[in-house]
Structure 1
Amino acid sequence: MIQAAYIHIPFCTHICHYCDFNKVFLHQQPVDAYIDALIIEMERTFERFPTPRLQTVFIGGGTPTSLTAKQLERLLRAIHRIVPLASNVEFTVEANPDGVSDEQLHVLKQWGVNRLSFGVQTFDDELLTRIGRTHTKETAIETIERAHELGFYNINIDLMYGLPTQTIAQLKETLHMMFSLPIQHVSAYSLIIEPKTVFYNLMRKSTLSLPSQEEEAYMYEIIMEQMEQHGYKQYELSNYARNGFYSRHNMTYWNNEYYYGFGAGAHSYMNGVRYVNAGPIKKYIQLIQQGQLPYVDTHVVSKEEEMEEYMFLGLRKIEGINKDEFFQRYGKTVHAVFNEAIALQKQDGLLEETDEAIFLTHRGKLLGNEVFQSFLGVSS
């Protein structure tokens, strides 16, 4: 059963130096035509792949709040008309700290959005400029506090560490600032240099000054320690929440469950098949106008692939892999499929095991990609 939906808004008023998501500058883009296509895609998809109730909806980007309040309202109205929402649905919208107005926040609140995710990245003005963000520390603080005043009591912020020239002192100051704000959830990611970004080009020219791997690992240790001290439980490698505020939407991915993906470049996983939508906006709209769903690639996931995905996604969770659940899903014990990989990672001190679960050790959290790699291509 499909219980989650991601909706992609690919427009931005500014492109950040590290971002490789499917996005374009907002200026002179066919925004209203895109919303029309998005609504039609949702209608056709729910006709073809119905589900009783969605537990989570996540509108991301790009920058969803680059839409006007009127455009947001049109999209949200359509979602309520088309999508079967559970009464306790977790409904998230991403926003830039300097790109959301009171009018937009009122529209979001009116149409049932109950979780906001702000791309803060850091509370250091010097670093914000360096990574290509347009907001300031003060703007971020004011926006978070204003959203809380208007009744949004489930607020996430994204943080980044390992930024160019970032120091331990700057990271600690950002965490100190964050802990003073009404924030229930934090996603803290290390900077990854992706192709076709400003940072990638700077790195190729050897003009990008990044912290060492040791410094980046130390930053991660500081984040884990500070989060725990201030009442944020780490429940996934990069995610921390106050009690009762886990991201139910993201848990869909880490539990390797099915989800809808709507919009240009979006990915879906439905009934054992992965679908990829056309990325270019004009191509996406064209496919919809031709009466099609906008898929440009489909892949039937084999049982072997599904088991591997279950392992490397599930091990991102701090609780790890539930052995009984693995058996219920696949009719095999996890050791019958992955015994050698598990044994090697336990021997290296990266995995730990109890009667109920298999999970990363503290050292394993620091070397997670190495662990995940060990489960690929070994289940056949």
Structure 2
Amino acid sequence: MEAVYIHIPFCIKKCNYCDFYSLPIKTAGALIEEYCTAVQKEITLYARELGDSVQVKSIYFGGGTPTVLPARELTGILNTLYASFPVTNDVEVTVECNPGTVDGDYFLRLKDAGVNRLSIGAQAAQDRLLEKMGRIHCWRDTVRTLSQARRTGLENINLDLIYGLPGQTIEQWKESLRDTLSLEVPHVAVYGLKLELDTPWGQARELGKLDFPDQDISADMLEAAMDFLMGAGYLHYEISNFARPGFPSRHNIVYWKNHDYLGIGAAAASHLGPTRRTNVLSVEGYIDALRQGCFPVGEEEFLDRETEMAETIFLGLRLLTGIDQDEFRARFEVNLIDKYSAQVEKLCRLGLLKMSGNRIKLSRKGLFLGNEVFLEFLP
């Protein structure tokens, strides 16, 4: 197990597109402290189960909005992790934050506790779009938050942007890219909007009340991001992620290489060996399980070898370096080309995959049609 994810399911206000499990911080009351205590209990339970054979190289606080917690609660969880698991000296510790929820003192307390990377949910440079999304900040808040973080010595910073928003034009998207480049952050993530039906925007789309850019325009937006960011010297290392040399996200690479990770908190998912676990969805149910000294598992699935191989392929193909065939053979004791000859031949013929030495990669065309490629490998 290489990475630990901690889910903080509280936020100031749920955005119109968000389907992650979260509760408004204002109505959470005593649940906040009880939840943080339960998180620390879950960490200690897993420490006893997994022993000291693991070595954690990445810790990631996601949400929700982790920075709506008092700093002492967040750093208390981090200190429990340090005390419970062997952690590498150069561990990457990331905290997601939203502009307007943090200040310089908060950042300093995070840094003193070992946090060395931030992921800031900027999302767009246009205040009108941010308001439509249900965000609580404006672009000026993003700039101020970034400046406050840098003054405390936190330099390894990612900015998230979203394209394909209702009413968003290609020119607005390019403006967001230009404004982001002006901030000179070492990592930028660009995500195409994906909606679930149980969100306000998902329901509005079903009712035909919102106009979204079509697939061609969304593809143009991804291509614009590639041109802007790569032209500015960023490495395009995963379909949605761009980094300066030395700054790719270690945590997400664990996911894309389909390695083991531990998820802590309500609704968090783990991948441990051939087992996938998802914790109970409700904060109250999560707290109750830990009070009784039980793992708060809501669902557990055993992954057979065929599923593990397929997931390793379509997750690995998200990386621009693709899949190393020797690594695949060492892990599964099977030759990838022999196992999936029909799929590889078909996708290469369609120009969606390419061979590069010992690696299989998405072509540039395949980057825009990744889901079609991934479906070919499902068992």
Q: CA deviation at 1:290?
A: 1.2
- Looking at structure 1, the residues matched to 71 and 54 of structure 2 have their Cα atoms a distance apart, in angstroms, of 29
Aligned residues: 376
One-letter identity of the residue aligned with 1:34? Y
- What amino acid does structure 2 have at the position aligned with 1:215? I
Moved more, 231-240 or 64-73: 64-73
Match of 1:72 in 2: 74
Task: Give the partner amino acid of 1:5.
Answer: V
Match of 1:97 in 2: 99
Name the SS of the counterpart of 1:86 in structure 2. Answer: strand
Matched, 1:14 2:16: no
CA distance in structure 2 between the partners assigned to 1:217 and 1:182 by the alignment: 25
Gaps of at least 5 residues in structure 1 are none
Does structure 2 retain, via aligned residues, the 8 Å contact 1:18–1:198? yes
Return the letter of the residue paired with 2:129: L
Check if 1:307 corresponds to 2:306.
no
In the other structure, the counterpart of 2:183 is 181
Alignment identity in percent? Answer: 38
Report the Cα distance in structure 2 between the residues aligned to 1:242 and 1:77, rounded to whole angstroms: 30
The correspondence of residues 68-217 of structure 1 with structure 2, limited to 5 A, is 68-217=70-219
Kindly provide the CA deviation profile for residues 34-73 of structure 1, in whole angstroms up to 9, marking residues without a partner as x: 0010000000101101234210000100110010123223
Question: Residue 40 of structure 2 corresponds to which residue in structure 1?
Answer: 39
1:145 CA drift (Å): 1.6
CA distance in 1, matches of 2:244, 2:356: 26
Please, which runs of 5 or more residues in structure 2 have no aligned partner?
A: none
Corresponding letter in the other structure for 1:67: L
Larger CA deviation: 163-172 vs 34-43: 163-172
| TM-score after normalising by structure 1 | 0.97
In the alignment, the residues of structure 2 paired with residue 164 and residue 73 of structure 1 have an alpha-carbon distance, to the nearest angstrom, of 37
Mapped contact 1:58–1:249 kept (Cα < 8 A): yes
Per the alignment, in what secondary structure is the counterpart of residue 340 of structure 2? helix
Q: Is the 8 A contact 2:68 2:101 kept in 1?
A: yes
Amino acid at match of 2:132: R
Amino acid at match of 1:12: C
Distance 2:357 2:68 in 1: 49
For 1:23, the equivalent position in structure 2 comes to: 22
Deviation at 1:298, TM superposition (A): 1.4
Counterpart in 1 of 2:321? 319
Distance 2:27 2:369 in 1: 44
Bigger Cα displacement from structure 2, 99-108 vs 215-224: 99-108
Q: Distance in 2 between the 1:184 and 1:21 partners?
A: 26
Q: Indicate if the aligned counterparts of 2:17 and 2:195 stay in contact, CA closer than 8 A.
A: yes
Give runs of aligned pairs for residues 360-375 of structure 1, distance below 5 A. Answer: 360-375=362-377
Contact 2:103–2:148 (CA under 8 A) maintained in structure 1: no
| Displacement of 1:299 | 1.4
- C-alpha displacement at 1:268, in angstroms? 0.5
Once residues 356 and 282 of structure 2 are traced to their aligned partners in structure 1, the CA distance between those partners, rounded to angstroms, is 47
The superposition leaves residues 66-106 of structure 1 with CA deviations (integer Å, 9 ceiling, x where unpaired) of 10123223223322222322100000000001111222111
- The one-letter amino acid of 2:21's match is N
> Which amino acid counterpart does residue 45 of structure 2 have in structure 1?
R
TM-score normalized by the length of structure 2: 0.97
Residue 161 of structure 2 aligns to a residue whose secondary structure is: strand
Say whether the 8 Å CA contact 2:58–2:250 is kept in structure 1.
yes
2:234–2:244 Cα contact (<8 Å) kept = yes
CA distance in 1 between counterparts of 2:356 and 2:86 reads: 39
| Aligned counterpart, 1:272 | 274
CA deviation profile, 1:224-254 (whole Å, cap 9, x unmatched): 1111011111100000000000101000000
CA distance in 2, matches of 1:103, 1:288: 32
In structure 1, distance between residues paired with 2:177 and 2:296: 42
User: In the alignment, which residue of structure 2 is the partner of 1:296?
Assistant: 298
Amino acid at match of 2:80: A
Distance in 2 of aligned mates of 1:169 and 1:149:
32
Which runs of 4 or more aligned residues in structure 1 lie more than 3 Å from their structure 2 counterparts after TM superposition?
none
Answer whether contact 2:104 2:151 (CA < 8 A) is retained. no
* Contact 1:46 1:83 (8 Å CA) reproduced: yes
Shift of 1:376: 0.3
Distance 1:317 1:77 in 2: 32
- Does the Cα contact within 8 Å between 1:144 and 1:182 map onto a contact in 2? no
State how far apart, in whole Å, the 1-side matches of 2:125 and 2:119 are.
15
Amino acid at match of 2:11: C
**How far apart, in 1, do the equivalents of 2:171 and 2:85 lie?**
46
CA contact (8 A) 2:352 2:364 kept: yes
Aligned equivalents of 2:284, 2:192: Cα separation in 1? 33
Alpha-carbon distance in 2 for matches of 1:296, 1:199: 27
Pairing 1:239-278 to 2, within 5 Å after superposition:
239-278=241-280
Compared CA separation, residues 348 and 233, structure 1 to 2 (3 A)? same
For 1:38 and 1:354, the matched residues in 2 are separated by: 44
